[in-house]
């Protein structure tokens, strides 16, 4: 493997930060990187096979997907009430609840907590919402160091890189590349491609950090309104470490993660782990209901819950797009997406890549920036078919394409970046076609003319003919052919 092959996308990244506005360019770079493509192909095939085995009973799969969809839809249909219930139960349990409309407010809340404790070190469990608000970057500006402790996130952070998958953040690297990363950033590391040794290196380097951290930060998989309980799904134990060892625990999550009852958790948890990694259950399932109670000898003295909107209420206000919020972040849509499998997660330039990223990012960042993403799909439907909560992702993509091209109508509230992909030329072309198609004389004249100039169509038509042959009109129009055959039948 040559260095230039493995790093060509990374090199691009360092020159220009990844952004959804540069999707085409980033996708092109990824497609030209054979090592990256091999890493993703291998990982996606592995995860697809694992999921298939975990859902070996087709009837049971159908049943649990229907159930999970119904649970998420019920919870979303009561979202404001459930959030109030969650808040009041958390407060009763001693958890401090904070509300943030956007990334700036969320970072401010966390910075305030950190500064009140004179905190310099935050140790983090895996949290995509913290990526969403660029927490590490913002805290660094204040002299607060955030350290990732999930093995994949740790590797990615060492490289100054970003996660390329929501479940397996370092999936774009193979073991050789991980060894290279460790060699470049860790003292006294002997390069190795033995995965056990690589993991033990991560373990030993991070162990002291857990002891020293002032604050532990985590995400939340399910927030239970009924009891004010925060549930965390993980395999490594770093989630338990972050939420148990430091004196202060901050949990951050999107407002949509709330479920109504404790009994909503087991089916969703099973659907999540089987869809994500094909596991019947993860190694740890952590249920946190309060800070350390009187008489207890360990656990954080303070627990905070930060609830983030960041565009989620926009999706919520539209009945169809509200389904986007059913997501339980398993990543199965990515693993099964023919586009994601080929270009990987970085090319999207958004925190959430792949199919779910394409339908959630427009609400977070606006369609101006994300309008190309919604077109990056063949609408093959695989994402919708594997989604454990049955989000109709292909329909949602079509809807967003429509919103990107056209002004808002009375039927739906306007969304951020509405009509930002509208093109006057395209609009004029469509209008003209509509006129011709509804005026037979003009239409026939047009199609007849096409049969006459068929020899004059150039064989190269810019981007269209890069991977297609140029269209050649037939010598007779369909209308002429039908007329002729009709005559023949009569004679």
Partner 1 sequence: MSSSREAIFARLRDANPKVKTMETIAYQPWVSNETEVLKTRFIDGLSASHAEVLTTNRHALNETLKTLIIEKQFARIAIGTGGDLHSEIVKAISLVQITHPLNILQFDVDFAQCKSQLFNDIDAGITHCRVGIADTGTLVLWPDNTEPRTLSLIPPAHIALIKRSTIVSNFAELMVTEAWQNKMPTNIVLVSGPSKTADIQQTLAYGAHGPSQLVVILIEDM
User: Scanning residues 339 to 358, which ones bind partner 1 (CB under 8 A)?
Assistant: none
The set of residues, in sequence order, having a beta carbon less than 8 Å from that of 68 and lying 6+ positions away, is 267, 268, 271, 328, 388, 389, 390
Binding segment for partner 1 (CB under 8 A), chosen from 138-146, 165-173, 415-423, 481-489, is: 165-173
- Asked whether position 100 contacts partner 1 by CB under 8 A, the answer is yes
Q: By CB under 8 A, which span of 21-29, 259-267, 376-384, 398-406 interacts with partner 1?
A: 259-267
**Site residues for partner 1, window 228-257 (CB under 8 A)?**
228-229, 235-238, 240-241, 244-245, 255
Name which of 101 and 414 has its Cβ closer to partner 1. 101
Instruction: Give the position of tokens 């427009």.
Output: 362
168 binds partner 1 (CB under 8 A): yes
In the complex, the smallest distance separating the C-beta of residue 424 from partner 1, rounded to whole angstroms, is: 33
Binding of residue 175 to partner 1 (CB under 8 A):
yes
- The distance from CA 24 to its chain's CA centroid, rounded to whole angstroms, is 18
Selected from 26, 282, 326, 350, the binder of partner 1 by CB under 8 A is 282
Q: Which is nearer to partner 1, 56 or 469 (CB)?
A: 56
Report, in Å, the least distance between residue 186 CB and partner 1: 15
Among 280, 453, 463, 478, contact with partner 1 (rule: CB under 8 A): 280
Q: Give me the least distance between CB of 105 and partner 1, in Å please.
A: 6
Among residues 104 and 481, whose Cβ is nearest to partner 1? 104
56 binds partner 1 (CB under 8 A): no
Candidate segments 35-43, 140-148, 391-399, 402-410, binder of partner 1 by CB under 8 A: 35-43
Reading the block at residue 48, the tokens are 């697809």
Q: Is 269 an interacting residue with respect to partner 1 (CB under 8 A)?
A: yes
Q: Which stretch binds partner 1 (CB under 8 A): 15-23, 278-286, 332-340, 443-451?
A: 278-286
Task: Please select the residue that binds partner 1; options are 284, 419, 420, 476, rule is CB under 8 A.
Answer: 284
- When the beta carbons of 4 and 317 are compared against partner 1, the nearer one is 317
Question: Closer CB to partner 1, residue 90 or residue 347?
Answer: 90
Contacts of partner 1 in 195-234 (CB under 8 A): 195-196, 198-200, 202-203, 206-207, 210-211, 226-229
Tell me the closest approach of the beta carbon of residue 6 to partner 1, in angstroms: 13
Of 9, 47, 250, 373, the one binding partner 1 by CB under 8 A: 47
- CA 485 distance to own-chain centroid: 54
Q: How far is the CB of 195 from partner 1 (least distance, A)?
A: 4
Least distance CB 314 / partner 1 (angstroms): 8
Interface with partner 1, residue 7, by CB under 8 A: no
With contact defined as beta carbons under 8 Å apart, do 407 and 393 qualify? no
CB of 49 to partner 1, least distance (A): 10
């Amino acid at each position: 493997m040559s260095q230039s092959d493995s790093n060509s996308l990374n090199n691009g990244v360092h020159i220009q930060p990844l952004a959804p506005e540069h999707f085409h360019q980033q996708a092109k770079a990824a497609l030209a990187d054979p090592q990256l493509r091999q890493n993703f192909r291998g990982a996606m095939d592995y995860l697809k096979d694992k999921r298939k085995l975990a859902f070996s009973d087709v009837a049971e799969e159908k049943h649990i997907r229907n159930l999970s969809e119904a649970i998420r839809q019920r919870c979303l249909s009561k979202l404001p009430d459930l959030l109030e219930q969650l808040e009041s139960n958390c407060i009763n349990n001693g958890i401090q609840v904070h509300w943030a409309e956007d990334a700036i407010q969320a970072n401010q809340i966390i910075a305030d907590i950190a500064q009140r404790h004179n905190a310099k070190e935050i140790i983090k469990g895996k949290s995509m919402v913290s990526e969403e608000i660029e927490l590490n970057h913002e805290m660094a500006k204040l002299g607060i160091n955030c350290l990732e402790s999930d093995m994949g996130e740790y590797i990615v952070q060492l490289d100054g890189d970003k996660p390329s998958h929501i479940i397996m953040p370092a999936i774009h690297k193979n073991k050789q590349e991980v060894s290279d990363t460790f060699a470049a950033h860790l003292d006294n590391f002997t390069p190795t491609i033995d995965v056990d040794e690589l993991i033990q290196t991560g373990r030993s380097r991070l162990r002291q950090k857990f002891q020293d951290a002032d604050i532990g930060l985590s995400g939340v998989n399910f927030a239970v309104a009924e009891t004010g309980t925060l549930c965390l799904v993980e395999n490594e134990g770093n989630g338990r470490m972050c939420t148990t060892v430091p004196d202060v625990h901050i949990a951050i999550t999107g407002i949509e993660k709330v479920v109504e009852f404790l009994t909503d958790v087991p089916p969703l948890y099973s659907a999540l782990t089987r869809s994500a990694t094909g596991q019947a259950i993860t190694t740890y399932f952590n249920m946190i209901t309060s800070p350390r109670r009187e008489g207890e000898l360990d656990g954080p003295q303070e627990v905070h819950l930060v609830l983030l909107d960041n565009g989620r209420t926009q999706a919520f206000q539209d009945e169809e797009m509200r389904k986007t919020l059913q997501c339980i972040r398993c990543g199965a849509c990515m693993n099964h997406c023919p586009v994601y499998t080929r270009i990987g997660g970085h090319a999207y330039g958004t925190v959430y890549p792949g199919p779910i990223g394409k339908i959630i990012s427009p609400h977070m960042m606006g369609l101006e920036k994300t309008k190309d993403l919604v077109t990056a799909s063949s609408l093959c439907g695989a994402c919708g078919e594997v989604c454990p909560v049955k989000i109709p992702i292909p329909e949602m993509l079509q809807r967003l394409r429509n919103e990107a091209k056209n002004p808002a109508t009375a039927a739906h509230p306007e969304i951020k970046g509405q009509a930002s992909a509208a093109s006057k030329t395209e609009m004029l072309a469509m209008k003209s076609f509509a006129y011709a198609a509804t005026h037979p004389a003009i239409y026939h004249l047009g199609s007849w003319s096409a049969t006459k100039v068929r020899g004059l169509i150039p064989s190269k038509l810019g981007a269209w003919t890069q991977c297609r042959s140029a269209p050649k009109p037939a010598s007779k129009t369909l209308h002429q052919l039908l007329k002729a055959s009709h005559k023949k039948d009569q004679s």
